[in-house]
Amino acid sequence: MTHRLFALLLLLPVPACAELDEPLADDTVADELLADVDWETQLAFYCPGIDRAAGVPTYRGLAGTYVRLGLPAEDEPYRLAFATVVDDPEAVGTFAGLRGTASGTLGPYAGAFRAIPDNPAIGPALGLDVGGDGRYDATHFVLGLRRSLSGATITRICLSGDEHPFLLVRTYF
């Protein structure tokens, strides 16, 4: 599947910059190339290795730190560290991390979180309560997870974003 995606991308026209020294945003070319591509192909591009068919029956092993591949849009996470009180089947606890700002830089944020597993009404989701006021300021649908070989920890999380899905990968530092 991945080889076919890259072959498809090579066949698509690449938009040219007005000037050579004018840089494009990190995901601009990929976003323009994938604008008319079906959802499953976008998911394979932005969240490689995530199997949506497995669903999200539990968040066991979520506690840890995750970093996004690519630059975040405004108010989307770049780095998240989860400390869980409960993690099976849903996860509840606190988080701290960095997110994209309106100026294009990264800003710190923290608060409480709740992650619900597969739910027939809405599907799996992650809600972030920034500031501890009891309201979830940011909610992302969990499009899929990947676990370690032993199954003890979550190694990748694919979340919905404003423009496209994004991948958070576990770090060990």
What confidence tens digit (pLDDT) does each residue in 44-69 have?
Answer: 899 998 888 788 999 999 999 999 98
pLDDT at 16 over 50: no
pLDDT top residue among 166 and 54:
166
What confidence tens digit (pLDDT) does each residue in 99-139 have?
Answer: 999 999 999 999 999 999 998 888 999 999 998 888 999 99
pLDDT confidence of residue 82: 98
pLDDT confidence of residue 27: 55
Residues of the chain with CATH 2.40.128: 55-171
CATH tag, 55-171: 2.40.128
pLDDT top residue among 42 and 73:
73
User: Considering the chain, what is the average pLDDT of its residues?
Assistant: 83
CA 39 to chain centre: 15
pLDDT confidence of residue 33: 57
**What whole-number percentage of the chain has pLDDT above 70?**
79
Q: How far is CA 139 from CA 16, 67, 90, 129, 149, in A?
A: 35, 17, 15, 9, 28
pLDDT top residue among 169 and 44:
169
pLDDT at 145 over 80: yes
CA distance 126 to 139: 6
pLDDT confidence of residue 52: 82
Partnered with residue 167 across adjacent β-strands are: 158
| Confidence class for position 35, pLDDT limits 50, 70, 90 | low
CA-based R_g, the chain, Å? 17
CA distance 62 to 151: 11
